[in-house]
Amino acid sequence: MKSFFEVLEHLYKKVLLGATLENDIHDYIFYLNPAFSDQDYSTTASSECSHTFGVQGTREPSSVSLATISGAPVCLKRHSEMGSAREIMLLQLTVIRVMVTRILSVKTEFHAREKYREIIKILLKSSDIDSKLTCMFQNSDKLLSHMAAKCLALLLYFQLREKITLSNSWISFCQKNLSEYSESDKVVYCLWTLTAIIKEIFKDTCSQKTEILKQFLTPFHTIFEVFYNSLFSQHFENHQDTSKIVNSLICFLELLELLIASRIHLKLHFTCQRILFLKPSYVLDVITWPVQAFVKRKFIVFIKKCLLRKVGEDLCQEWVPASVLPDHHLHVDLLALADAVLQAVDLGLLRTLSVHGKPSCFGGDEVQPGSERVPGPDHVILRAASLLIIKSLEIKFQNCASANEMKVDLQRFMSELLTFLKPHLKPSLQSHSQCEWLSRVFIEQDDDMLEAAKASLGIYLKLTREHEATESLTQEKEMWNHHTHENGYNPHCIFLFLLKNIGFDSTVLLDFLISSETCFLEYFVRYLKLLQKDWDNFFTICKNFDVTESKDSVNICGCIFSLVQDRSSNQTEPSPLAALGSHRNAHACISWVSHASSEPLDQVVMSEETHVTLQANGLSPPRASQSLVDYDSSDDSEVESTDQRLSSSKTTSLHQEAMKKIQDTVGTSRDKKEISLEPPSRPLVPRESNTPFSVDCDIAPNKIVSGVGISYRTVKCFEELQGAIYRLQKKNLFPYNPTALLKLLKHIKAIYNKSMNHL
C-alpha cells in the first residue's frame, strides 16, 4: 500500500515527463490541496486562514491504486510527523508549479496539457488556493514561504492567460501591504510575486503580452506610486534592522526595472511605468545613503541601463532593439532623468561615491585565509558612473541649441569626471592624452566601452556642427581642437586608443561587427563617416601619437640596452624578454632580446622605422591572435600561400635575416597572411629597404617616415577587416548586408593613398 508522499512522488514524476494522467481529476485535487500546520500558523489571524484547513466539495480518492489514506489533508498531522508534513507540502507546491509550467509549454502533448489545465482550474475554484498560499508568506520556514510565492506567481499568471478573474483576496493583500512601507516580510513577498508574474509575461511566446500585462497592472498602477514615495522617503540611518529595508529596496528595484522595460518593449503606458522619470531624485538619493556598497552599485547600474534603454534586455533579446522604436514621451522622460543625473553630479554625487570597498567576485567578497586581496577600485562603479555622465551629456545636448552653453557644461562635467577617475587609474593619465580615460576605464567591458565611445562621438558631432556654424577662424579651430583633447572626448584619439588596446587586430573588430551584444556597428559607421571629412585632423593626431610613442620607445630601449649590458658583463645567460608592445599597449618600439648574450645588439633591438618598413614590405612580426575566419577548403589556403611566397621573394636578404632572428627568438611564426579585398597595385607605404637598423634607439620625430606608424597600422587594420568581411559575404556567412560598410572602408583606403601621394 502506498503512502501519501509516495503517491505525490509518483504524480510528480509523471507530470515532469508530461505524461497523460488516467485517474479522475478530483483524485488528483485531493492530493494537491495544501494543508497547514497549526503550530506554524498560530499567529495567523483566524479570519484569514480558518477556511484553509479543508476543501469544500472535494471527495476522497476512489481509486485504490492511487492512495490508501482515507483522511483529508487536514488530518496529515495525525498520520505523520511535522518533518514529513513539511516535505509533503513542499512536494505539493512543486507538483503544482511543474503542472502549470507544463500547461504553458507548447511541447506538452495536447491531451496531457488539457488534463493538467482542468485540474488547475478546479483546484483554483474549489480550494481557494490563492488565500492559502498568501498565508504561507508568514511562515517561519523561509523555504516554504519562497516556494509558496513561486507557486502563487505561476497560478496567477495562469489565471491571466486563461482570462480568469484574479483573486480579490490576493489583490487586497497586496494593496494593503504596499499602501505604505513596513518592515514586514509580507512586503518583500508581495514585490517578489509581482516581479515573478511580469517576468512570466515577458518570457511567454504568446502574442497577447500587452493585453495580459494591462489586465495585471490595472489594480496596482496607483499603489506602486504610493509605495515608491513611502519607500524612498525613509531615513536609512533611523532603521535598527537595515536588512529589511535593503531587501525591500532590491526587490522594488527589480520590479521598477521590469515596469520600465515593459513600457519600452511592450508599448504600454501606465503612470507606474514613469515613476522613476517623474521623481528621479528619489532613486539618486539612495546612492548617497550610508548603505552597503552592493546596493549603491545596483542603483547606479540600474540608472545606467535606463539611460541606455537596456532595462530588461535579458528578457527581451528576441525583440527589435528599443533604439529603433521611436517614442517621443520616452525621449522626454530620458531627458528628465539625464538632467537629474547631471544636477546630482553638480551637487557632489561623485564625491560621495566610495570605490575602495570590497570588490564583488563570483565566489563572494571574502578572501580565504592565506590569500591576499588584490588592491584596486571597484571598476563596476567607475564604469557605471562614467557612462552615467557621458550619456546624460549626450541626451541633454541633443535638446540644446546653444553652443556656448554646451561647451561650458561639457567642460564642467568632464572636469568633474576626470578628477574623480584620475586617482584610480594606474599609471595616471598623461596631460597630453586625456582621451585615454575611456579605454582605460572600460577596458574590461566591451559593450559599455562602445556605448561610451558612441556617446562621446555624438557629443563631438553635435558640438562640431554648432561650432562650425558660428566660428571659422584658424585660431578658433585650434582652440576648439585643444578643447576636445583637454576634456577627453576627441573621437580620433578615442578610436586610436581603442585600436591600440586590441593590438590593431582586425579580427577583434570583425567580432564586434558580428556580435549583437554591442553597438559597435553604429559607432563604427558614424566614425568612418567623420573620418572621411576630417582626415587631416586624424592624420595630425596620428603624427602626434607617433612622436609620443617614439619618445617612450627611447626610454624603453635604453632600459633594455642597460639590462643587456649588465647581464653580459656578469656573463650570465639572459632569459628572453617578452616583446614590448603587447595586445594592450602596442608600443612603437618593439624589441626582442635573443637567448645568447654574445649576439650583437643590432640584432637584438629593432627600431620603429625598421619595424614599420618590414610591415610595408609584406613582413610583420608574429601576432598572438589567430584569424577569426577559417577556410572551408584548401583552395583559399593555397591562394594565400602563393601570395605570401610571391611577396616574400621580393624582400631583401637583410629583412629576411631580421625576421628569421625575430621568429627564432619569439618562437612563433605566421604561416598565413590575410589577403585583402582588392590587393593594391602599389604598396600602401613606399619601400625603404635601405633603412638601417637603429643601434642606439635615438629616434628623433623628424626621422619618422611620413604616413608610417599609427596611421599606417590603422589603414592596414581596415584593409584586413575589409578582406575578412568580403570573404564572409562571399560565403553568405555575414549576418547582414555589409555593402555600405565596405564602401566606407574602401574610401578610407583611397584617402590614405591620396594623402601619401601628396607627401
The closest of 288, 291, 293, 326 to 309, measured between CA atoms, is 326
pLDDT band at 70 (very low <50, low <70, confident <90, very high): very low
Chain segment 423-453, per-residue pLDDT in tens: 888 777 765 578 999 999 998 899 999 999 9
pLDDT band at 358 (very low <50, low <70, confident <90, very high): low
Q: Are 613 and 707 in contact (CB under 8 A)?
A: no
- What string of H, E and C letters represents the secondary structure of 643-687? HHHHHHHCCCHHHHHHHHHHHHHHCCCCCCCCCCCCCCCCCCCCC
CA 664 to chain centre: 41
Residue 204 has pLDDT above 70, yes or no: yes
Residue 330 has pLDDT above 80, yes or no: yes
As given in the structure block, the three cell numbers for residue 203 are: 518570457
Q: Could you give the C-alpha distances from 719 to 58, 137, 687, in angstroms and in order?
A: 76, 63, 18
Residue 254: predicted pLDDT: 94
Question: Which residue carries 533604439 as its cell?
Answer: 323
Q: Could you give the C-alpha distances from 84 to 5, 55, 92, 414, 735, in angstroms and in order?
A: 8, 21, 12, 63, 56
Report the range of poorest mean pLDDT among 45-54, 80-89, 94-103, 319-328.
45-54
pTM of this prediction?
0.74
Chain segment 271-290, per-residue pLDDT in tens: 899 999 999 999 999 999 98
Report the range of poorest mean pLDDT among 77-86, 111-120, 415-424.
77-86
pLDDT band at 356 (very low <50, low <70, confident <90, very high): confident
Report the range of poorest mean pLDDT among 68-77, 171-180, 214-223.
68-77
pLDDT band at 656 (very low <50, low <70, confident <90, very high): very low
Q: Could you give the C-alpha distances from 143 to 135, 151, 190, in angstroms and in order?
A: 14, 12, 16
Give the span between the Cα atoms of 664 and 669, in whole angstroms: 9
Most confident of 61-65, 202-206, 536-540: 536-540
- The mean pLDDT of the chain is 75
Residue type, 328: H
Q: Are 145 and 185 in contact (CB under 8 A)?
A: yes
pLDDT band at 244 (very low <50, low <70, confident <90, very high): confident
pLDDT band at 547 (very low <50, low <70, confident <90, very high): confident
**Contacts of residue 601, Cβ cutoff 8 Å, sequence gap at least 6:** 561, 564, 695
Q: Alpha helices, DSSP H only, in 105-184? A: 110-127, 129-135, 142-161, 168-178
Give the span between the Cα atoms of 190 and 230, in whole angstroms: 16
Residue 318: predicted pLDDT: 52
Residue 37 has pLDDT above 90, yes or no: no
Residue 598 has pLDDT above 90, yes or no: no
Residue 234 has pLDDT above 60, yes or no: yes
- What string of H, E and C letters represents the secondary structure of 370-434? CCCCCCCCCHHHHHHHHHHHHHHHHHHHCCCCCHHHHHHHHHHHHHHHHHHHHHHCCCCCCCCCH
pLDDT band at 604 (very low <50, low <70, confident <90, very high): very low
Most confident of 117-126, 335-344, 562-571, 705-714: 335-344
Q: What is the mean pLDDT of residues 301-315?
A: 89
591 forms beta bridges with 605
Q: What is the mean pLDDT of residues 21-46?
A: 67
Q: Are 282 and 228 in contact (CB under 8 A)?
A: yes
Residue 69 has pLDDT above 50, yes or no: no
**Contacts of residue 666, Cβ cutoff 8 Å, sequence gap at least 6:** 579, 592, 621, 622
Residue with the bigger pLDDT between 640 and 20: it is 20
Give the span between the Cα atoms of 66 and 68, in whole angstroms: 7
Residue 188 has pLDDT above 80, yes or no: yes
pLDDT band at 720 (very low <50, low <70, confident <90, very high): very high
- Calculate what percentage of the chain has a pLDDT beyond 90: 41
As given in the structure block, the three cell numbers for residue 307 are: 539611460
Chain segment 609-618, per-residue pLDDT in tens: 334 333 433 3
Give the span between the Cα atoms of 196 and 666, in whole angstroms: 56
Give the span between the Cα atoms of 481 and 563, in whole angstroms: 41
Residue 269: predicted pLDDT: 85
- ω into 219 cis (within 30 of 0): no
Residue 694: predicted pLDDT: 35
Q: Are 527 and 457 in contact (CB under 8 A)?
A: yes
Residue 27: predicted pLDDT: 83
CB atoms within 10 A of CB 191: 26
Residue 689: predicted pLDDT: 36
Q: Are 183 and 244 in contact (CB under 8 A)?
A: yes
- Calculate what percentage of the chain has a pLDDT beyond 70: 67
Chain segment 464-504, per-residue pLDDT in tens: 887 666 555 566 777 888 889 999 999 999 999 999 999 99
Residue 552: predicted pLDDT: 62
Residue 690 has pLDDT above 70, yes or no: no
Backbone phi and psi for residue 605, each to the nearest 5 degrees, phi listed first: -110, 130
pLDDT band at 83 (very low <50, low <70, confident <90, very high): low
**C-alpha gyration radius of the chain:** 33
Report the range of poorest mean pLDDT among 147-151, 228-232, 328-332, 700-704.
700-704
Most confident of 30-34, 127-131, 653-657, 737-741: 737-741
Residue 454: predicted pLDDT: 96
Residue 699 has pLDDT above 70, yes or no: no
Give the span between the Cα atoms of 391 and 397, in whole angstroms: 10
Residue with the bigger pLDDT between 719 and 60: it is 719
